Amino acid sequence: MTDTAIEADALAKRFGRLGRATWALRDCSFRLPAGRVCAVVGPNGAGKSTLLALAAGLTAPTGGTVTVLGTTPGAARARVGFVAQDKPLYPQLSIAETLRMGADLNPGHWDAAAAQRVVAGGDLDPKKRIRSLSGGQRTRVALALALGKRPELLLMDEPMADLDPLARHELMGVLMAQAAEHGTTIVMSSHVVAELEDSCDHLLLIGEGRVRLAGEIDELLEGHARVSAPAQSDLSPHTVIESRTTGRQVSALVRPVGTLRADWQGGTPSLEELVLSYLRNPEAPALTPAKSEEFSA
Amino acid sequence: MSAVTGLPRTVLRLHRTALIVWAAFVLAAVAGLVWLNEITADSARASGSDWAWLDYSEPMGWVSTAMYYSFWAVAAWAGSALIGRELESGTARLAWTQGLSPTRWLAAKLALPALVLVLAGAVFVPVYRWAWSANRDLMGDNWDFGDVFAARGPAVVAYGLCALAVGALAAIVLRRSLPALGVAVAVMISLNVYLEQHREEFWPTVTRTSATEIELPNSASQIENGVLVHGQRNTSVDYWSCDGTAAEMKRCTDDLGITGYWSTFHPQSHFWPMNLVETGILLTITALATAAAFWTLRHRTGAARKESAV
């Protein structure tokens, strides 16, 4: 066992041939401790899916390294569950055959009951072919496959996108129970921040292929403040993430350095406010715990 | 390695339609050969009609032709349904995150169909060899016909295996089903055309010279023949225009300076070495394509790094 679920060091991934190449990820470094429920957020095309695919050992990085459960993604394969964004399944198989495939490919650590429960929650006929299922039903089967394997780390790319609110609530409950019971580390990407706020305790904000924010959500929120001050106030030495002047007031989101002036009205931002401020201001300095200093000790 | 029992089961479950179609095809071919030789051959002889032998020889030709060119279907299937579709739709990624490394996934995907192709060949080739020689009087073909040549030996299996490997490589490089299908079939057709054209060069021929015109046995596969003009081989003298009585013929050929005749050919005994050489060429290409497919897949998924890190 290791206490680190994922550790990325200068991870980079480039797509396309030379000349027209685009960087999906660049100089991406972070550390996710084990046992966390981590939200990976960022705009479309930020590199979330690429990061998850690299961690799942589905594609090779162009540069840097990613360590998963203390080893390479390829070696950790048996202990990692993955649900891809488009929920690929074999259309010619029935639901029952799909689950049997999970059992066949994961000998020794397949939890048939857990997989069965996820499918049963959706009232699905096990004899039904995958090709006849709706998007939400496919998501359910894909989650059943990933959970049945009893992973130590579960990576999910936009897992809830196709689900109706009831199913979303139910399956989120299943996932949280899994995390609580077995200490499973869960990493899920989404661009709907509200969806993640209640269930996640760790955040990874990715923008333009780089890590913008990484850390425990509580600490990140405490490390930032909303301030309302008279216009022309000098906000230094605090790090300004975003500021907007309306009339004689300037409202800003800052990363305080030392204490804030008492007469500035402040408050802790919500997760959504924090995320949006960083996304709206690509120039804002990133906040990622420098792993070499903080964690090597 | 403990998943070795579950893994073949999974691959068979995924491709059972293809397996059923292939098994039905091979069994129909074998049954057809038995029927033609046990029933049709006798009735064709008994009918007394001048063209009755065609009732036997035509379907015999269809069977060998269909089996010979079945590698087209194998290439198309390997490029699309077996590998290409999985990479295109993302189901390969599903398999790779269900405890199955890309290397083992590809190994299973290639090994099972390869086994099926070898088994099919092990059943078909002996039956065809028996069927082809059982009623030679009703057949107008020869051992050097393209389909007959391949179907009477391991070459027909080697074509299937090569198509499998080329299809897989095309799919892994292109990652899309339809282009991979097209490329795999095109490559295999070109390879087949090339080998058919150069088959006779892969084994030394026999040359016979004689003072009189050479009558080769019917089974010999003639490649080139001509006359000796003052002891030199010549293919351009039109000695066949000489006509008439034996004396007139003699005078005519003497006028042309013809001193003898020569013929270059493969006797029927060359069938096995020629078939094995072609099989060897095809299996070498199969091995290279398979290695390239594994290398590309490992390189792309980072599996190569895993090896060096562990």
pLDDT digits (tens, 9 = 90+) for A39-51: 999 888 889 999 9
Q: Is the pLDDT of residue B285 over 70?
A: yes
ipTM exceeding the 0.90 mark: no
Q: Is the pLDDT of residue A239 over 80?
A: yes
Give pLDDT tens digits for B117-170.
999 999 999 999 999 999 999 998 999 999 999 999 999 999 999 999 999 999
Cross-chain Cβ contact B301/A102 below 8 Å:
no
For chain A, list the domains and their CATH numbers. Answer: 4-216 (3.40.50.300), 218-294 (no CATH)
Q: Is the pLDDT of residue A197 over 90?
A: no
Cross-chain Cβ contact B99/A145 below 8 Å:
no
| Closest alpha carbon to A156 in A37, A251, A270 | A37
Give pLDDT tens digits for A250-268.
999 999 888 888 888 788 9
Query: A15 — contact with chain B (CB < 8 Å)?
Result: no
Q: Is the pLDDT of residue A294 over 60?
A: no
| Nearest-angstrom CA–CA distance, A264 and A226 | 9
Residues whose CB falls within 8 Å of the CB of residue B46, separated by 6 or more in sequence, listed in order: none
Q: pLDDT confidence of A1, banded at 50, 70, 90?
A: low
pLDDT for residue B305: 54
Q: pLDDT confidence of B2, banded at 50, 70, 90?
A: very low
Query: B305 — contact with chain A (CB < 8 Å)?
Result: yes
Per CB-CB distance under 8 Å, the chain B contacts of A71 are: 309
Domain segments of chain B as ranges = 2-201+269-309, 221-266
Per CB-CB distance under 8 Å, the chain A contacts of B304 are: 60
Q: pLDDT confidence of B43, banded at 50, 70, 90?
A: very high
Mutate which of B97, B172, B173 to disrupt the A interface (most A C-beta within 10 Å)? B97
Give pLDDT tens digits for A99-139.
999 999 998 889 999 999 999 988 899 999 999 999 999 99
User: H/E/C letters for each residue in chain A?
Assistant: CCCEEEEEEEEEEEECCCCCCEEEEEEEEEEEECCCEEEEECCCCCCHHHHHHHHCCCCCCCEEEEEECCECCCCCHHHEEEECCCCCCCCCCEHHHHHHHHHHHCCCCCCHHHHHHHHHCCCCCCCCEHHHCCHHHHHHHHHHHHHHCCCCEEEEECCCCCCCHHHHHHHHHHHHHHHHHHCCEEEEEECCCHHHHCCCCEEEEEECCEEEEEEEHHHHHHCCEEEEEECCCCCCCCEEEEEEEECCEEEEEEECCCCCCCCCECCCCCHHHHHHHHHHCCCCCCECCCHHHHCCC
Q: Which among B9, B10, B301 has CB closest to A58?
A: B301
Average pLDDT on A236-255 reads 89
The minimum CA-CA distance between A193 and chain B, rounded to whole Å, is 26
Those of residues 6-25 in B touching chain A at CB distance below 8 A are 6-7, 9-10, 13-14, 17
Cross-chain Cβ contact A74/B303 below 8 Å:
yes
B111, B112, B170 from B115: Cα distances, Å: 6, 5, 21
pLDDT for residue A263: 82
DSSP type of residue B83: I
